[in-house]
Amino acid sequence: MDVVKLILDIIFYPPIYQLLLIGLVGSLVVVIFILWFERKATARVQRRLGPYHVAPRVAGFPQLVADLVRYAFQEVIIPRTVDAGIFILAPIVATILSILPIAVVPLTSNPGYWPVPMDYSVLVALAISTVSPIFLILAGWASNNKFSIIGGVREAFVITAYELIAILSILAASATVLSFNFVDVVEAQSRIWFIILNPLAFLAAFLAVLMATSGFPFEIPESENEVVAGPFTEYSGLLYGLNMGAAYMKRFALSILMALAFLGGWAPYTPGEGILSGYLIPSIIVIAKATVLMMAFSFTRSVYGRFRLDQALDGAWRLVFPMAILGFGLALLEAYLGVV
């Protein structure tokens, strides 16, 4: 029994569990599921089948695994004209940084299972989440390709506009409880979720995450018909897969932040003692909520087209940014009135 307990302790040692198990393995599984769901849902709207031929009995679910294997075994071509060091490092660092926010958020109220001290966890998580776009821009610059540079510049524009909004509106949740502690934020939602108390901030965060993680059809930086693949034009094989995966992993990380800040985290459940009820179950609840959010994101694909860059920025500064500010004001007002 000691061996089992030892293994469990190692696995559920919070930094390892959150960074490796949820961050790496969990996000991979969720991303695969979301990609499959996205393809199936759009296929449903567009009156076709979607992935089917790999294992029809489970509706083609392993198709994405097959794609992943294909990416992994493709030849990685590094053109002679690129800045090879940055070219290789940028997608790797970007991917790691995309999932890093998961390692600093609480997935339970049990202090024994916090990966880091939680006093400023909202700030830290948001701060880490803003670093990865720099490496995408670097990837574009190192590629030494016109389309990559245009894509990188677009990325910079979109990120500047929408990351700010995402941060501001997630911070609104912490303003409501007058604390930067994520646990306080989640505990305050045990009665009523912030999505109901502060729908403005939630909507702003939803739109901002949708745009900032540039999934189809809001992939302005890498829109196929204008800039081929944006910053990733010169990439191939696994590095390209990483680039593509990084966007989804970042979306997953931000969805977890949103689930904690607006959807009540592990809310209906009260974590108890022990690994099972103190850690595993609440973390699965959070991931499930984040997955539902991501499903909502991916459904927009079948309805909308791509915004033009100037329209997207215009919308950000003129519509979504005031909305986020209003949401923040609403949060402060609620804190002042003591609604929570």
Binding stretches for other proteins (CB under 8 A): 42, 45-48, 146-147, 150, 216-217, 219-220, 223-226, 228, 301-311
Burial 281-302 (b: 16+ CB within 10 A, else e): bbbebbbebbbebbeebbebbe
Nearest to 151 by CA among 239, 229, 235, 247: 229
Q: Report, in angstroms and rounded to the nearest whole number, the Rg of the chain calculated over CA atoms.
A: 20
Distance of closest approach, residue 63 Cβ to other proteins, in angstroms: 18
Distance of closest approach, residue 31 Cβ to other proteins, in angstroms: 20
| Other beta carbons less than 10 A from residue 86's beta carbon | 15
Residue 45 or 127: the one with the smaller Cβ distance to other proteins is 45
Q: Decide if 107 contacts 286 (C-beta within 8 A).
A: yes
Residue 305 or 338: the one with the smaller Cβ distance to other proteins is 305
Residue 121 or 223: the one with the smaller Cβ distance to other proteins is 223
Residue 163 or 219: the one with the smaller Cβ distance to other proteins is 219
Residue 13 or 304: the one with the smaller Cβ distance to other proteins is 304
Distance of closest approach, residue 45 Cβ to other proteins, in angstroms: 6
Nearest to 301 by CA among 51, 61, 41: 41
Distance of closest approach, residue 314 Cβ to other proteins, in angstroms: 10
- The string of DSSP letters for 244-312 reads HHHHHHHHHHHHHHHHHHTS-TTTTS---SHHIIIIIHHHHHHHHHHHHHHHHHHHGGGT--PPPHHHH
Nearest to 298 by CA among 210, 203, 205: 210
Compute, in degrees rounded to 10, the torsion defined by CA atoms 84, 87, 90, 92. Answer: -80
Distance of closest approach, residue 32 Cβ to other proteins, in angstroms: 20
Residue 67 or 226: the one with the smaller Cβ distance to other proteins is 226
Residue 173 or 312: the one with the smaller Cβ distance to other proteins is 312
Distance of closest approach, residue 217 Cβ to other proteins, in angstroms: 4
Distance of closest approach, residue 224 Cβ to other proteins, in angstroms: 5
Residue 204: exposure state from Cβ atoms within 10 A (0-12, 13-18, ≥19): buried
Residue 7 or 45: the one with the smaller Cβ distance to other proteins is 45
Distance of closest approach, residue 46 Cβ to other proteins, in angstroms: 4
User: In whole angstroms, what is the distance from residue 150 CA to residue 258 CA?
Assistant: 30
Residue 4 or 303: the one with the smaller Cβ distance to other proteins is 303
Q: Decide if 266 contacts 114 (C-beta within 8 A).
A: no
Which residues, at least 6 apart from 330, have a Cβ–Cβ distance to it below 8 Å? Answer: 172, 198, 200, 201
Q: Is the peptide bond before 217 cis (omega within 30 degrees of 0)?
A: yes
Distance of closest approach, residue 149 Cβ to other proteins, in angstroms: 9
